[in-house]
A and B are shown apart, each in its own frame.
Chain A
Amino acid sequence: MKILRLADVEKCVGCGLCMFACSRKNVKDQRIGIGHSGIRSVSLSGFERGATVIFCHACSEPPCAEVCPSKALKPRKGGGVIYNERICLSCHNCISACKIGAIFERDDGKIAVCIHCGYCVDFCPHGVLEVVEA
């Protein structure tokens, strides 16, 4: 299984193109904007201290899946989770369970989490992200 990983976080310029890419990637329901993104580009308490991206780092025992009452989130082989949006209750238990804050609320109340598809890598202009074999 492949996972998305930080190639060099120090290179992040905070452009957020990864967020736009992630919201756009769904082939059935592409979204314009950042509100469906499972990755977030942030400054380090002000851009004077640089920027970084936050996303699921594919932990092997994902607590988000454990606290999901509807099994919308299930552990994924190789780490991380698979998300079945249809049965998600929008309870956001997963958002509180993730210690790195890598699950985000979407504009329709459901959640966005990185599924390690790697679509954003093609739109990262400065080599911050990469996809590798887990």
Chain B
Amino acid sequence: MIDRVLTVNLSDYTYEIEEREDLAEKWIGGVGAGIQLLREKIDPSTDPIGEGNVIVFSIGQFTPTYPYASKTVALFKSPLTMELGESHAGGRTAMAIASAGYLSIVIQGRSEKPVYIVVDGERVYFRDGRSLAGIRDSLILGRILAEIEGGRGIRTIIRAGYAGERLVRFACLTTETYRHFGRMGLGAVFGSKNLLAVVVRGNRTYSPKDQKLYREVYSEIYRLGVESEAMKKYHLLGTAENVLPLNELGGLPVKNLTQQRFECEEISGEKFAEENLGRRIACSHCPTACIHIAALREEYEDERYFFKTIMIGYDYELIYALGSMIGVSDRAQLLRLIHRVETYGLDAISTGVCLAWATEALKRGILSKSETLVDLDFGNAQTYLKAVDYIVQQPNEFYSALARGAEYAAREYGGKEFAMAIAKNEMPGYNTGYGNYLGLLIGLRHSHLDNGGYSLDQKAKGLTPEETVERLVKEEMWRQVLSSLVVCFFARNIFRPELVEKAFTPLGIERSQDELEKVGEKIYMEKLKLKKEMGYEPDLSQIPERVFETQTPHGKLDREFFESALSYYRKAYLSKI
């Protein structure tokens, strides 16, 4: 059983290692174990960018054991929403944490000067980061750390970018160039702790209890992954395949949701694959390799026959947020924007939604050019490139406000009714109906991945408010189990309850499906409780007015539906805490 917890304190540069069998046994691992650790170590009222914030990285029993258990869960207090923050990333992080021998790594305190830490098995090194602070490109920081730290192939380099250093409240962390702890501003938490990066390496192995069965179950999961239809979507075009069908349905948010359809042929998954796809990359232990990397070949501005080729990761959410949401329909321009956002270490969804709000606010005269400094205009990627720089540099009060998120900026300047953040988290690319918006509001991290509301919208029609809440919450409860294992949600059709039970057996761990589901429920309630302690209460005022004015594939959304759903949710779940 993987059950060790490493706690690193940046205030006095110390660390300790504990055996926490209780966490692994009772709470599985991942988010289940992580939420307990966060509760133990954090004061819920702490300032998210103060010394008191705590970050927990957690993996699960399946991480080194089976394919697809390639995610790491991070828990912290979000500087964007000011309540519970949760973010998941792939790359090599999970494998490296397991190889270093840990179930969880907890980071607390604040370093006086910039540092990065290296976790090498049982040793932790605090490295002077002063000469690495202020590097504006997170790819370059990654390369430097890769060169000076050993462990090629068996390490992870998790770094905050320049946006994190500048405390942009939606800065992310980047790992292995193309994967991110996105959403909710973990990059700013690193920045506030003067923590530039965490390098983790090790080569620890574990033994199965039943060797023969282990090989059998391993092969079964591997075969399901490479031979069945379960992973097909991610294996082919990747998440970008959603662009055309969602646009067709009227579910693709366009120009801050002022339009229902978009000229998106040039930025479709098909077009990216045909014209730009240059390489595929996998997270550790994943045969699907869903990471799609576009090659952008560009001539130097002022020299003929000099070319550079930049490799840029793309996904549906980036195409939505930096494409359709701000009206950019040119593929090369979109790639440049993605690259800029990537090099700074910004969350792409939040950045796009903030820019969309600012553009509309400027058009309506709520903002003036003296604030935005550039003529923000839907479709004009050049102005957006400049605005992205400003979000990070924060040359005036307006950009300082925008760097705190769309909801905050709208509260300061007006236009809250079209600042497309739900419960302060900028919305993902699904204007699909009740399931999405309700799912974002009651979802424990206000993310489409909490409960897949966008998918419910496409699968089920005519659900009552109560049924919608039930379906969303049940899905989210099961996802707590997947996030405790920690299995990639893209493989959720492989890791059905019966397979999860079976996969535990060779490890000598008995967990019935029934028991797993109960733990999922309990983790859900534990998270809800901590959210509440951090001051969160779901309320309809956390959904911008635009949501009720816009056509969706389910027609215009009725406020009363949300009211009934929320009142049911309060009665059935919130009041049970």
Contacts and interface: CB of A to CB of B under 8 A. Distances in A.
B289 A107 contact: no
Contacts of A36: 205
B177 A31 contact: no
Contact of A24 (B147, B177, B218, B286): B218
Given A43-B176, A48-B293, A34 B281 contact: no
Interface in A2-17: 13-17
A41 interface: yes
Contacts of A63: none
Contact of A20 (B146, B176, B285): B285
B65 interface: yes
Interface in B265-286: 279-286
Contact of B204 (A20, A47, A54, A107): A107
Interface stretch (B39-47, B206-214, B550-558): B206-214
Contacts of B280: 13
B102 interface: no
B572 interface: no
A76 B82 CA distance: 62
B191 interface: no
B146 A33 contact: no
B495 interface: no
B152 A42 contact: yes
B544 interface: no
Chain A, interface residues (CB within 8 Å), range? 35 or more
B279 A20 contact: no
Contacts of B206: 31-33
Nearest to A108: B205
B401 interface: no
B99 interface: yes
Contact of B284 (A16, A48, A50, A105): A16
Contacts of B177: 43, 46-48
Interface in B137-174: 139, 142-143, 146-147, 152-154
B207 A30 contact: yes
A40 interface: yes
A106 B285 contact: no
Nearest to A20: B285
B159 to A, nearest CB: 12
Interface string A42-57: 1101111111001000
B340 to A, nearest CB: 15
B95 interface: yes
Contacts of B139: 46, 48
B205 A35 contact: yes
A42 B419 CA distance: 43
A66 to B, nearest CB: 25
Interface string B91-122: 01001001100000000000000000000000
Contacts of B92: 16
Given A14-B281, A15-B282, A23 B205 contact: yes
B207 A13 contact: no
B64 A32 contact: yes
Contacts of A29: 207
A15 B203 contact: no
B126 to A, nearest CB: 24
B311 A48 contact: yes
Contacts, number: 114
A15 B205 contact: no
B226 interface: yes
A13 B95 contact: no
Most B-side CB within 10 Å, residue of A16, A23, A50: A16
B207 A47 contact: no
A34 B279 contact: no
Contacts of B67: 17
Nearest to B142: A46
Nearest to B65: A32
B94 to A, nearest CB: 11
Contacts of A23: 205
Contacts of B207: 29-32
B536 interface: no
B151 to A, nearest CB: 10
Nearest to A16: B284
Interface in A85-134: 104-107, 123, 125-126
Interface in B204-238: 204-208, 211, 214-215, 218, 222, 226
A35 B208 CA distance: 14
A107 B205 contact: yes
B287 interface: yes
Most B-side CB within 10 Å, residue of A30, A51, A123: A30
B203 A46 contact: no
Contact of B285 (A15, A30, A35): A15
A40 B208 contact: no
B440 to A, nearest CB: 31
Contact of A15 (B98, B147, B284): B284
A50 B503 CA distance: 32
A40 B283 contact: no
Given A13-B282, A15-B287, A48-B293, A34 B205 contact: yes
Nearest to A40: B153
A13 B281 contact: yes
A6 to B, nearest CB: 16
Contacts of B153: 16, 19, 40-43, 54
A15 B154 CA distance: 12
19 contacts: A14-B282, A14-B284, A15-B286, A16-B282, A31-B206, A31-B207, A32-B65, A33-B64, A33-B99, A33-B206, A34-B95, A34-B154, A35-B99, A43-B177, A45-B143, A46-B139, A46-B177, A47-B177, A48-B311
Interface of A: 13-17, 19-20, 23-24, 27, 29-36, 40-43, 45-51, 54, 104-107, 123, 125-126
**Nearest 3 pairs of A and B residues by beta carbon:** A35-B203, A15-B282, A125-B287
